């Protein structure tokens, strides 16, 4: 039985849904909000640049290696050839075939970073996108960060198509990449196009939906503007027929018309197959795959056709879910004429206009000069200006409609994840969630003049980046900066110098360890003070036990019979959570424990919220001491790609770093080593492996999990944490 996915196919502007405002340039049906996400160096930014060129948004293609990419506008991005911050940009495309052929569609694109240190940019982008292009390297296939961004897209229910890039490179293998998507990502991936040739001979693609070929000619058409449409070459006819059959069979689960015709052996029209693929894609249970080479300007127009034909518009997706003040579910139904609600998903400090708030409108129409209500602060703020972003260029607009992504100027008290809505619309949309920092370092200004500037700089940078944490260590007075990796913190320090003119010296990076417990234990906390007048009395009995991995600290109230009055349960809970900020092994945050408040007592006169908060802290600490506390260290997933002759040396190096080899495979003459290695041993690792391999090996490092610190290292870590704590 086919899936009940509903999609809107409107080819006449006079027939667009009543949800559209009359004066919007692109109806909701002709709007696509997409992201481009992948592992580092898979070619996301080059793909974005080609899309901008072919859609006419730019007239000269930017190149990452030349530092001219439009979406890589930061100085650090152009110097290093990597994407650091997600860039939003708008363009329009006329599909060359399908129901929307010749109808210009608005495509809002967010180009996201591939480096794991900037995973927050991907996380918050995925939260507000309707669809995504997942880019894979035809040589490397599915890489570690490919898996991370795939999980992020699954988490936020983002339908996607896959673009297998770099088909011109030595070792490219399209069908192996598709196979890895199925094996490693558990994706129902099927080619929408198959390549004609690969490596140096990649000179065309076969469209399995239309049953035609597109041929590229580097000599006559070096910019790839007009690929030649032709019949499928005879030597590819059997392969094209086989993969078209597989595609039809795969999408028949999502479309009754296709299912009946397929079972009855009837011919299926191009338009019927397009709609079936679209339904399957929107269902999140199917991924169409397209081959190409962004650098060599091959296949990008076909990818754009797929964006229009197969990725959803805002009306195709279920309404965004939120909650009202009472915690009851509320929907933000996509409609220009409804009450306004949207999500602030990113903050950026612009040198010319100040704070920019990137905002996705889910429902309603936002007008310049409007006041927006923030349920978190319970205050309204006025939007002085509205802008559409083109990387760092801005276009002033008067209105933004449902489904639009824009930037707000003038709102001040806003953080990433805030809902901004009409005051009479009681809704809070779910904010994106972000991983905890894994590395910290101390940072000190070089002069007194830099001290105040550093405070301002860090305040702005923390507001922009939810994975960046700053705190002052109470024991040393040092400012501690915590983030996702060495590169992350290095970029932050560089930005402080360039953007805020702050000269600062950083200390040696420190690991963000965690603590947890291994068994069940009881603890009793009493806070009693008598000093003549009114005293203080709080008494709490708790039980602590290990919790599931990833659950954090869970506090459960099991008080019966009023032995602790209701008004003191909350402060006792707050005390327990505060106590968990600093564990008993080495003072690091506690994770994955379940604490139950089971007993206690109170004094009718002397009991207070403060007393019960202190009792909660004491009770937690005592219980944890009895519960077999252990110290946990972050373990990283490391994937090393190296020529075979260096594999032995690199594996020996991993073993010396307390790493555990998880597996090895050979791909295109290169050896790929997968290992789990403690973060503590990985500082400077990329430089070291280059030395060991004469510059021919590369590594990808991603957070994996936490493991117990070996006893042989425990004393050393505890001692160093007392001398220079980094409680992050």
Same domain, 590 and 469: no
pLDDT at 454: 86
Average pLDDT of 46-51? 83
pLDDT band with cut points at 50, 70 and 90 for residue 86: very low
Helix/strand/coil percentages in the chain, nearest 5: 30, 30, 40
Span 177-186, average pLDDT: 92
Decide if 550 is inside a domain.
yes
pLDDT value of position 214: 94
* 595-604: pLDDT as tens digits: 999 999 999 8
CB 409 within 8 Å of CB 109: no
Contact 590, 580 (CB under 8 A): yes
H or E element that contains 566: helix 566-579
Residue ending a domain, among 628, 658, 678, is 628
Render pLDDT for 668-679 as a digit per residue (tens, 0 to 9).
Answer: 678 889 999 998
User: Which of residues 602, 628, 654 is at a domain's end?
Assistant: 628
The dihedral over CA atoms of 260, 261, 263, 264, expressed in degrees to the nearest 10, equals 110
Task: Output the pLDDT for position 77.
Answer: 40
At residue 306, the pLDDT reads 94
Q: Tell me, what CATH number does 687's domain have?
A: 3.30.70.240
Compute the average pLDDT of residues 261-289: 90
Same domain, 544 and 587: yes
Q: Is residue 3 part of a domain?
A: no
Element (H, E) at 426: none
Give pLDDT tens digits for 203-225. Answer: 999 999 999 999 998 888 888 88
Residues 90, 205 within the same domain: yes
In tens, the pLDDT along 130-140 reads 999 999 999 88
* Residue 609 · residue 566 · CB < 8 Å: no
Q: Give the CATH number of the domain where residue 384 resides.
A: 2.40.30.10
User: What are the tens digits of pLDDT across the range 344-379?
Assistant: 888 877 766 677 888 899 999 999 999 999 999 899
Is the model's pLDDT at 65 over the cut of 60?
A: no
pLDDT reported for residue 81: 46
* Main-chain phi, psi angles of 314, to 5 degrees: -55, -25
Q: Report yes or no on 250 lying in a domain.
A: no
The percent of residues in the chain predicted with pLDDT above 70, rounded, is 90
Lowest mean pLDDT of 177-181, 547-551, 564-568, name the range.
Answer: 547-551
The pLDDT assigned to 594 comes to: 95
Q: Which residue has the tokens 């009855």?
A: 264
pLDDT of residue 600: 94
**pLDDT value of residue 719:** 76
Specify the pLDDT at position 231: 93
Percent of the chain exceeding pLDDT 90 equals 38
Q: Report the C-alpha gap between 471 and 265 in whole angstroms.
A: 67
pLDDT for 64: 46
Q: Is the pLDDT of residue 725 over 90?
A: no
pLDDT higher at 687 or 30: 30
Q: Which of 78-92, 185-199, 470-484 has the lowest mean pLDDT?
A: 78-92
- Which domain does 637 fall in, by range? 633-708
This prediction's pTM: 0.71
């Amino acid at each position: 039985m086919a899936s009940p996915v509903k999609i809107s196919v409107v080819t006449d502007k006079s027939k667009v849904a009543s949800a559209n405002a009359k004066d919007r340039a692109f109806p909701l049906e002709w709007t696509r909000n997409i992201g481009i996400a992948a592992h580092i160096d898979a070619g996301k930014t080059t793909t974005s640049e080609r899309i901008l060129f072919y859609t006419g948004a730019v007239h000269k293609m930017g190149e990452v290696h030349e530092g001219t990419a439009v979406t890589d506008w930061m100085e650090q991005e152009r110097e290093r050839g990597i994407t650091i911050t997600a860039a939003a940009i708008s363009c329009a495309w006329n599909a060359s075939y399908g129901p929307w052929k010749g109808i210009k569609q608005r495509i809002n694109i967010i180009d996201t970073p591939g480096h794991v240190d900037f995973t927050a940019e991907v996380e918050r982008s995925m939260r507000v996108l309707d669809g995504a292009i997942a880019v894979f390297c035809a040589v490397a296939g599915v890489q570690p960060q490919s898996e991370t961004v795939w999980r992020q897209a699954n988490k936020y229910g983002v339908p996607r198509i896959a673009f297998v890039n770099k088909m011109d490179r030595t070792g490219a293998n399209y069908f192996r990449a598709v196979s890895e998507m199925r094996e490693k990502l558990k994706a129902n991936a099927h080619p929408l196009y198959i390549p004609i040739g690969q490596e140096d001979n990649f000179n065309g693609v076969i469209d399995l939906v239309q049953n035609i070929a597109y041929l590229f000619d580097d000599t006559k058409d070096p910019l790839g503007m007009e690929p030649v449409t032709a019949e499928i070459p005879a030597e590819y006819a059997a392969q094209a027929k086989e993969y078209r059959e597989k595609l039809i069979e795969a999408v028949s689960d999502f479309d009754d018309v296709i299912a009946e015709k397929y079972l009855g052996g009837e011919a299926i029209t191009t338009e019927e197959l397009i709609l079936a693929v679209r339904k399957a894609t929107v269902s999140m249970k199917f991924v169409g795959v397209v081959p190409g080479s962004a650098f060599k300007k091959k296949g990008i127009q076909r990818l754009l056709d797929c964006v229009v034909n197969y990725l959803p518009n805002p009306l195709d997706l279920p309404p965004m879910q939120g909650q009202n003040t009472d915690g009851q579910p509320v929907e933000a139904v996509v409609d220009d004429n409804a009450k306004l609600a949207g999500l602030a998903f990113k903050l950026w400090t612009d040198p010319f206009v100040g704070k920019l708030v990137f905002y996705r409108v889910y429902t309603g129409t936002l007008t310049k000069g409007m006041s927006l209500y923030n349920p978190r602060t319970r205050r309204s703020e006025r939007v002085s200006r509205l802008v559409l972003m083109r990387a760092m260029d801005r276009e002033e607009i008067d209105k933004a409609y449902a489904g639009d992504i824009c930037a707000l100027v003038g709102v001040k008290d806003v953080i990433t994840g805030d809902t901004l809505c009409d005051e009479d619309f009681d809704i809070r949309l779910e904010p994106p969630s972000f991983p905890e920092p894994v590395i910290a370092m101390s940072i000190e200004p070089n002069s007194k003049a830099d001290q105040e500037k550093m405070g301002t700089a860090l305040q702005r940078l923390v507001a922009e980046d939810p994975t960046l944490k700053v705190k002052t260590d109470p024991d040393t007075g040092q400012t501690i900066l915590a983030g996702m990796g060495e590169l992350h913190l290095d970029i932050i320090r560089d930005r402080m110098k360039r953007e805020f003119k702050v000269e600062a010296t950083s200390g040696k990076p420190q690991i963000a360890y965690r603590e947890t417990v291994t068994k069940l234990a009881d603890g009793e906390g009493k806070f009693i003070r008598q000093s003549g007048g009114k005293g203080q009395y709080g008494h709490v009995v708790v039980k602590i036990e290990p919790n599931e991995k990833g659950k954090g600290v869970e506090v459960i109230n099991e008080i019966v019979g009023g032995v602790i009055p209701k008004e003191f349960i909350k402060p006792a809970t707050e005390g327990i959570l505060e106590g968990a900020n600093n564990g008993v092994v080495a003072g690091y945050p506690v994770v994955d424990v379940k604490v139950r408040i089971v007993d206690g007592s109170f004094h009718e006169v002397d009991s207070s919220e403060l007393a019960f908060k202190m009792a909660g802290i004491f009770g937690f600490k005592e219980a944890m001491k009895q519960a077999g506390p252990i110290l946990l260290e972050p373990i990283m997933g490391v994937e090393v790609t190296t020529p075979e002759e260096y594999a032995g040396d690199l594996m020996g190096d991993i073993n010396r770093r307390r790493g555990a080899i998880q597996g090895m495979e050979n791909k295109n003459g290169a050896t790929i080593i997968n290992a789990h290695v403690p973060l503590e041993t990985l500082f400077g690792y990329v430089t070291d492996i280059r030395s060991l391999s004469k510059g021919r090996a590369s590594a990808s490092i991603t957070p994996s999990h936490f493991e117990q610190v070996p006893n042989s290292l425990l004393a050393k870590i505890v001692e160093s944490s007392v001398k220079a704590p980094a409680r992050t």
